[in-house]
Amino acid sequence: MAALQKIRSKGKILMIIIGLGLFAFIAESGFQSITGLTNADKQKVGEAFGETLTIQDFQNRVEQLSNIAKMQKQRAGQSDALTDQEQDQIREQVWSDFVNTSAIKHETDKAGIQVTDEDVQDALRTGQAQSLQMMAQMGFANQQTGRFDVNALQDFLKNYDKNMAQLAQSGQQAYIEQYQMLRQIWEYTEGQLRNELLKMKFYTMLGQTFISNPISAKMDFDARNTLADVEVAAVPYTMVSDKDVKVTDEDLKAAYEQYKEQFVNPTKSVDLKVLDVTVEASEKDKADLTKEVNEVRQKLEAGGDPAAVVNASKTIFPYTTLAMSKNAFSSTPDIAAALDSMGVGSVKPVYYNAQDNTINTLKLINKLQAADSVRYRMIAAVGKTPKESQTRADSILKALQGGAKFDDLAKRYNQPTDSIWMFSAQYEAPNVPDDQAKMINQINTLQPGYSVISNAQGSIVVQILERKHIETKYNVAVVKCPLQFSKDTYNAALNKMNRFLSANRTIEAITKNAPREGYIVRDVPNYAQSNQSIQEQIGGSRAKDAVRWLFDEAKAGEVSQLFECGRSNDHLLVLGVTAVNDKGYLPWDNKNVRELLTGLVKQQKKGELLMARLKGVKDMAQAKTQKGVILQMLQGQNFFSQTQLSSLAVPEPKLAGAIARTAQGQFSGAVQGAAAIYFVQVQRKVQGTEKFDAKAEMQRESGNYFQAIYQQSYYGANELLINALVLRNGDVKDNRYRF
């Protein structure tokens, strides 16, 4: 009883303790859920139409597309190294593909449209899908037509494991990597093919929604089939001074309601002032580098080992013993231009090339005649050691010279019997390893027949079958050194910027005083998360830090810290946030919206003033006497013509309408267009010889409306319809700036 009483007396305390315990348990679960959600969000590159793109998926797609770009560059005879700009373009394409595909999928899911395996097989058989042409470029093509060949793809996939095993035995790592890359490219292409087929089904469905009727078709036919030759007089709005036009807030608000849909802000954005200073090399830096390159030139002239001398310099091109055609130097036209004027053993004096900002010299080591194209086949003599490989290769060569058949020996050693064409464009690059360069040089110069080629990895027996297009090839030691700023030059620019910022701490002060220091401040309106220009144009990890600050921390009126960024650490960047624009409609008094509306209203009011002044003009003779008038003859015009005067270069739909409705020999009167007041005198109108067919014209009209959207959305760069879907329904969240 006493114990019970004690529990009762402590009841409130126990309840509090139990309550706190329960709260802690619930809170811990809640925090774990929040942490889980937060971590999941951190893995999202973005969202569109409810679809999520994770960082892993994004990186995988970037890698696949990068492999395609590398192989395309290899086949073009270029280095497969991707520039920063190319990598940025690939990342942008992956994101764009994700958003556009999500938009299409969102619409087709609602309509119950899917791509089946049968659809894919049909597309492979016909080989006409756009996405398959990339595979054709990779060698999966019909030799006669050049188009994609499904049989070549099927053979590749069927024999992939067997061929990989044979390549592994041969020890040719470069070929193994290329073969693996082809498989990855096919996996990417298969996904792109499904997306392409889904998009085609979507537009087919869309095309069925465009219909016409006999009345509309007849009007369309008459407008298209009636051609007019006209004389046009135009009084441009520039004849009215800005001071004669007054724009009020009420005018701007009215115009805002009229054009409001143009000011949709689909995501949060900021208006910026950008101070971006590029650090450049000084004259002293240039003189110092010129001196260094001169020392390299002297060593080359003295007969120093090209590989040792060149590779010890600051050149961007390591020395290779590979002899290359002049096409290999297409990316460095200054080098290509120098080759013909140089003799073997000569060294070019040091020079500065402004096109790529480099200090240069070069030595022509050798010049020879070699084949551009060689057809050959080979047997890899596999051995545990290079010596064993050499012995086996000699044995194979002896057997071939004794009358043995190549195909029989190749099969005995599990080697392919097919011949291979080797083209200069496939291998010519400044970064070819010496062992590969030696093998290529030998293949290029060997005469038809059997030979053994050996390197540190082993030996192969080669049969040269055919050589074509003998051309001049050059072995060149190229010293091309980028002119870069020194540490002292950078520190001087950094200290100058820090002094300026310490004296100017506000956006207003920075904007006002920047010109005195030779700085330029740029206005960047409506900068959204999807805008990658800071990361792409400036680059570097600190540029990404600057964008993260913009969208995760910055408030209106704030100035960022100084970001030292750039891919070469050559930019000093400061951002000022003049406004933060929330998702939705930009307000009418937003600085940039206001400027746009002011221009529109001014143009409209100038038109009204001129219209009031010119509405009494009765004929073309009177129109020609107006101050500032522009005259032009337009011939063969119909209602659908892109009607404009060459001196104004502004499309004028109202002018086209005036021409269509004015009879032959008649005067139109004043027409208020987009850029001028127009007067039209119709000199001649003729009907075309085409006969009206209501059914055919209805099909034509509905097809034209569909094609106007289809071509811009599917093939065109504007992606008109897709952009509209994304803007209205996409609920796009672009977090690329965080990665």
Helix axes 55-75, 84-111, angle to 10 degrees: 120
d(CA 706, CA 720): 12
What pLDDT was estimated at residue 39? 56
Q: Span 317-343, mean pLDDT? A: 89
Please report, for residues 412, 414, 465, 691, the alpha-carbon distance to residue 408 in angstroms, rounded to integers and kept in the order given. Answer: 6, 10, 17, 71
For residue 229, give both structure tokens.
């030759």
What pLDDT was estimated at residue 350? 96
Lowest mean pLDDT among 231-235, 255-259, 326-330, 432-436: 432-436
What pLDDT was estimated at residue 708? 65
What pLDDT, in 10s, does the model give residues 559-568? 999 999 998 8
Beta strand pairing call for 449-455 and 458-482: antiparallel
Whether the pLDDT of residue 320 is over 80: the answer is yes
Whether the pLDDT of residue 715 is over 60: the answer is no
What pLDDT was estimated at residue 385? 81
Lowest mean pLDDT among 75-79, 371-375, 401-405, 592-596: 75-79
Q: Span 233-257, mean pLDDT? A: 94
Whether the pLDDT of residue 15 is over 60: the answer is no
Q: Which residue has the higher pLDDT, 720 or 283?
A: 283
Q: Is 348:361 a contact under the CB 8 Å cutoff?
A: yes
Percent of the chain clearing pLDDT 90 (strictly above): 46
What pLDDT, in 10s, does the model give residues 277-307? 999 999 999 999 999 999 999 999 999 999 9
Helix residue ranges, H only, 454-523? 487-503, 507-513
Whether the pLDDT of residue 674 is over 60: the answer is yes
Q: Residue 422's beta-bridge partner residues?
A: 374
Q: Span 378-386, mean pLDDT? A: 80
Kindly indicate the confidence band of residue 511, based on its pLDDT and cuts at 50, 70 and 90: very high
Length of the chain (residues): 739
Q: Is 719:713 a contact under the CB 8 Å cutoff?
A: yes
What pLDDT was estimated at residue 23? 41
What pLDDT was estimated at residue 500? 98
Lowest mean pLDDT among 311-315, 611-615, 684-688: 684-688
Lowest mean pLDDT among 341-345, 380-384, 606-610, 647-651: 380-384
Q: Span 365-381, mean pLDDT? A: 86
Q: Span 624-632, mean pLDDT? A: 95
What pLDDT was estimated at residue 322? 87
Farthest-apart Cα atoms in the chain, separation? 121
Residue 9 buriedness (CB in 10 A; 0-12 / 13-18 / 19+): exposed
What pLDDT was estimated at residue 719? 58
**Residue of 575, 572, 551, 552 whose CA lies nearest to 563:** 572
What pLDDT was estimated at residue 711? 58
For residue 731, give both structure tokens.
């609920």
Mean pLDDT of the chain: 85
Query: What's the start-to-end Cα distance of the chain, in Å?
Result: 67
Percent of the chain as helix, strand, coil, to the nearest 5 = 55, 20, 25
What pLDDT was estimated at residue 11? 46
Q: Span 78-98, mean pLDDT? A: 86
d(CA 153, CA 601): 61
Please report, for residues 160, 344, 374, 532, the alpha-carbon distance to residue 737 in angstroms, rounded to integers and kept in the order given. Answer: 39, 52, 48, 8
For residue 660, give both structure tokens.
């269509």
Helix residue ranges, H only, 615-672? 620-623, 653-661
What pLDDT was estimated at residue 454? 80
